[in-house]
Amino acid sequence: MPRRTAATLATSGEVLRLIRSGEAVTRADLGRVTGLSRPAVQLRVDELLERGLVVERTDAPSTGGRPPVRLEFNAAGGVVLVAALGASRTRVAICDLAGVELAGREFAMDVEQGPDVVLPLIMDTWDELLGDRPPSMIRGVGMGVPATVEFAHGRTESARVMASWTGVVIPPIIRERFPVPVLVDNDVNVLAIGEHRGAYPDLDDLMFVKVSTRIGAGVVAGGGILRGAMGAAGEIGHIPVLDGAGVLCRCGNTDCVDSVASGTALLRDLRAAGKDVKTIADVTALVRAGDAETMAMVRTAGRRIGEVLAGAVNILNPSVVVLGGDVAEAFGPLVSSIREVVYRRSTALATRRLRIEPSRLGAGAGISGCAVMVLDHVLSPEAVDETMTVSLLRRA
């Protein structure tokens, strides 16, 4: 195999990577780092300037004579469309190329209405949020959905909540209206990506656990999201607990932690006990009022979740377990019970430096994670170079 030199690697996409990372911020820097000639550097920079991915700044400090022209990544050179779908609430936004939210909207929506209803509503919302921005500004789309996703094709499988979506391939539907790269992943994976990049960028191993209508996990291992062979990694909601009393789960098995400790399960069991609860907010009110029966049920749910997480901690050895979702965020007793069981049941080495913490980004982690997911793809050197090639072929 022929040896690959720095110069052969330094395509326009690689030059953009160097500018984005700050490794090279002038043309002279690029020449020194890549080994490219001055004309070759100029050609690549011109391509990036033309695409709006880079801008020039002339306010750099001078060491004598004319100050050098500094090259900066242009976060305003495009937008990505993102949507974080939940079982009952959805957040839709547009972000710049640095992942900063420019405009967004959150609304209640039952995803069980199906893709024929939900996807057009999301796309209509994107159109409204775009305002007078031209379609050429759109660089990509990122979505998180509450279902197992075969990531390579954006196909929903074995849906926990979105039963009417099973087998739906989402990207082609979106591309009919927005002809750009479309990435779709599990909702908890995008939460994990968002939390990792936004709150724990220096940690390589993190597990995000969402306790809400359902229970699921997203795993960051070695600095990247762990999807598994088919995208099914992190489905901790369907690990059984020991004392679940034979509760039937949506997946067809019994006593899955999702079926006995999720927000849906808490509401079901409290109603069966005669409590007038319709939402998690009602359960929160009972907890704050010190209702003994409600507190006991919340603590039991926490211990069951902790039992499952203890096994996951032993297998994955994360640096931090982040607890998110409206149930985890609302109930201190549940989080305390999770911590108690994990530290007691996991191995001493796995828990020596383990932190179990609430989400720092909250619901915003979903939008952030969707943006990071699609931006890492569309701004990768390979994707940038492919876009440049397609643009040149169209002109020919």
pLDDT tens profile 147-195: 889 999 999 986 556 778 889 999 999 999 999 999 999 999 999 999 9
Element (H, E) at 82: strand 79-85
Q: Are residues 345 and 272 in the same domain?
A: yes
Same domain? 212 vs 326: yes
Per-residue pLDDT, 392? 67
Q: Which of 122-131, 143-152, 307-316 has the lowest mean pLDDT?
A: 143-152
Residue 351 has pLDDT above 80, yes or no: yes
Residues 205, 322, single domain; the answer is yes
> Which band of pLDDT confidence, cut at 50, 70 and 90, is reported for residue 63?
low
Residue 57, H or E segment: strand 54-57
Mean pLDDT for the chain? Answer: 90
Does position 62 have pLDDT exceeding 70, yes or no?
no
pLDDT of residue 243: 83
85-94: b or e for each residue (b if 16 or more CB lie within 10 Å)?
A: bbbbbbbbbb
Distances in Å between the alpha carbon of 155 and those of 28, 86, 158, 186, 235? 46, 17, 10, 10, 16
- The CA distance from 365 to 373, in Å, is 12
Mean pLDDT along residues 262-291 = 91
Q: Is residue 100 assigned to a domain?
A: yes
CA dist 227 and 234 (Å) reads 8
User: Among 310, 133, 135, which Cα is nearest to 209's?
Assistant: 310
Nearest to 149 by CA among 370, 367, 381, 371: 370
Rounded distance between C-alpha atoms, residue 91 and residue 104, angstroms = 7
Cβ neighbours around 252 below 10 Å, total: 8
279 and 259, same structural domain? yes
* 69 and 86 both lie in a single domain: no
Q: Establish if 204 belongs to a structural domain.
A: yes
Q: What are the tokens at 347? A: 């191995």
Q: What is the pLDDT of residue 21?
A: 92
What end-to-end distance do the CA atoms of the chain give, in Å?
A: 33
pLDDT digits (tens, 9 = 90+) for 211-245: 988 899 999 999 999 999 888 899 899 999 988 88
Distance CA 280, CA 63 (A): 62
User: Which residue's structure tokens are 């039937």?
Assistant: 248
Q: Is residue 6 part of a domain?
A: no
CA distances (Å), origin 168, targets 150, 158, 178, 222? 10, 11, 18, 31
Q: Quick one: tokens of 136?
A: 């050429």
* 179 and 327 in a common domain: no
Residues 271 and 318 in one domain: yes
pLDDT value of position 4 = 41
Region of residue 64 (phi > 0: left; psi between -120 and 50: alpha; otherwise: beta)? left
Considering the domain architecture, whether residues 303 and 372 belong to the same structural domain is answered as no
List the CATH number of the domain containing 323: 3.30.420.40
Separation between Cα atoms, residue 209 and residue 323, nearest integer Å: 5
In a domain, 246, yes or no: yes
Q: Let me know if residue 122 belongs to a domain.
A: yes
226 found inside a domain: yes
Is residue 229 included in any domain, yes or no?
A: yes
Both tokens of residue 367? 């939008």
- pLDDT of 5 higher than 60: no
Q: DSSP state, 240?
A: B
Higher-pLDDT residue of 10, 48 = 48
* CB-CB contact of 78 with 139 (8 Å): yes
Task: Tell me which range, 9-13, 252-256, 308-312, is most confidently predicted by mean pLDDT.
Answer: 308-312
| Mean pLDDT calculated for residue range 336-340 | 94
Q: What is the pLDDT of residue 147?
A: 86
65-78 per-position pLDDT tens digit: 667 789 999 999 99
* pLDDT at residue 88, rounded to an integer: 79
Q: Hey, what are 354's tokens?
A: 């383990």
Contacts of 86 (CB under 8 A, 6+ apart): 111, 146, 187, 212, 213, 366
Write the CATH number for 54.
1.10.10.10
pLDDT at site 225? 95
- In terms of domains, do 176 and 118 share one? yes
| 96 and 63 in a common domain | no
- 320 and 207 in a single domain? The answer is yes
Contact in structure between 369 and 190 (CB atoms under 8 Å):
yes
Q: Which two tokens stand for residue 355?
A: 């932190």
Q: Contacts from 99-102 at CB under 8 Å and sequence distance 24+? A: 99/197, 99/368, 99/371, 99/372, 99/375, 100/75, 101/364, 101/367, 101/371, 102/129
What is the value of pTM for the model shown? 0.91
Residues 6+ apart with CB under 8 A from 331: 283, 284, 287, 298, 302
Considering the domain architecture, whether residues 94 and 67 belong to the same structural domain is answered as no
Does residue 1 sit within a domain? no
Confidence (pLDDT) at 1: 35
Q: Which residues span the domain enclosing 343? A: 200-360
Decide if pLDDT at 265 tops 90. yes
Count: domains in the chain:
3
Percent of the chain with pLDDT over 70: 93
